[in-house]
Amino acid sequence: MTATRSAWHIPRYGRPDVLTPVTLPLAEPGPSEVLIRIDASAVTRADGMMRKGEPLFARPFLGLRRPRNGLSGTGLSGEVIAIGDKVSRFAPGDMVFGEAGMRLGANASHICLDEDGVLMLKPDSLSHEDAAVLCDGVLTSWHYLCNLGRVRSGDRVLILGGAGSLGSAAVQIAADMGAEVTATSSAHNADLVASLGATCVIDYATKEALLRGAGYDVIFDTVGVTSFSAAKPALAEAGRYLCPVLTLRRLPAVLLSSLIGRKRAMFAAVGLEKQHRLRAMLAEIIILIDQGRLAPVMDRIYPLADLKEAHAYVETGHKRGNVVVV
């Protein structure tokens, strides 16, 4: 009997109910691949955007009328159960975490990944659930704050959306770097965000965060709720506005601000970084986690069979930290 694996297929762009469970042949790993039995995988806002085919200008890459790669999920953690004959970094029995990248298919029971991709040994101190989300909010926030925004001790940093996957990681990372952190959240999540290291938490429903003359060295808009033109008056003279949500309206600001003035709007596609650089960043993140200076925030854990419900919950925009399926 042919071995099989379970996965989730996206036959067309749309709401969470387009997600379809499928049974596929269990592939043998190629010469440089490892076969992983997945114990946990992330469900992220980016996964939902790819399911919907958003933003529209990305469809030449994602697929014009339906997803080019119709499988769901990127971040994962699990156990290596077989390896190709040229694999040297991993062995059967290794616990690993990483991301599938544009191969997708992490919301599944098994997956084959190249050993030289974004794949790392999982620390014993980290659960599969926590490890599965590191390549989403934690890695993105690390790259934006450390490499793009170049946050330094004493900087004044504003995190817009401090309770989400990116925001909950960003507050911790910026505070650990010695920044003075202000973050926005709902009143319901204010205590959580403060516990992560924010010295000031602003209820976005009742108070404006982008005050003229506020003098923030970095504004990290984790959810794309504002624009460079709206954030600019609240920036310091050489302040940086960072936003991982690229839209056609934001692109001109990124280009023009690099040529005119000292204030900058900045964007980076983390997934397009060279894979060895992403592994190096994850190695630094693991050090922080092992030292107790950073911890992923977990909201909900769903069975893999309930992936539609997990997507629907993420789409509400009210999750605290991360969501995974197991």
| CA–CA gap between residue 19 and residue 17 (Å, rounded) | 5
Q: Give Rg (Cα) of the chain.
A: 20
Task: Tell me the average pLDDT of the chain.
Answer: 95
Domain ranges of the chain: 4-133+296-325, 136-271
CA-nearest of 113, 107, 132 to 6 is 107
Top-level class of domain 4-133+296-325: alpha beta
pLDDT score at 260: 84
136-271: CATH, from 2.40.10.480, 3.40.50.720, 3.30.565.10, 3.40.640.10: 3.40.50.720
* DSSP 8-state symbol, 214: -
pLDDT score at 186: 95
Task: Give the β-pairing of 20-25 and 156-160.
Answer: unpaired
What element of type H or E holds 253? helix 251-257
| CA–CA gap between residue 6 and residue 21 (Å, rounded) | 7
pLDDT score at 252: 77
| CA–CA gap between residue 131 and residue 96 (Å, rounded) | 8
pLDDT per position as a tens digit, 223-280: 999 999 999 999 999 999 999 988 877 877 888 888 888 999 999 889 889 999 999 9
Q: How many CB atoms lie within 10 A of CB 91?
A: 10
- Reported residue count of the chain is 326
pLDDT score at 1: 63
Tokens at 212, concatenated: 């003229």
pLDDT score at 184: 97
10-residue mean pLDDT series, the chain (326 residues): 91 97 96 98 95 88 88 97 98 98 94 97 96 97 97 98 97 98 96 98 93 96 94 96 87 81 91 92 96 97 98 94 98
CA-nearest of 105, 24, 162, 146 to 304 is 105
Reported pTM: 0.94
| CA–CA gap between residue 11 and residue 85 (Å, rounded) | 34
CB 139 within 8 A of CB 164: no
Residues 303, 278, 248, 50, Cα dihedral to 10°: -20
* C-alpha dist (Å) from residue 114 to 31, 36, 175, 292: 9, 11, 35, 30
What element of type H or E holds 201? strand 200-203
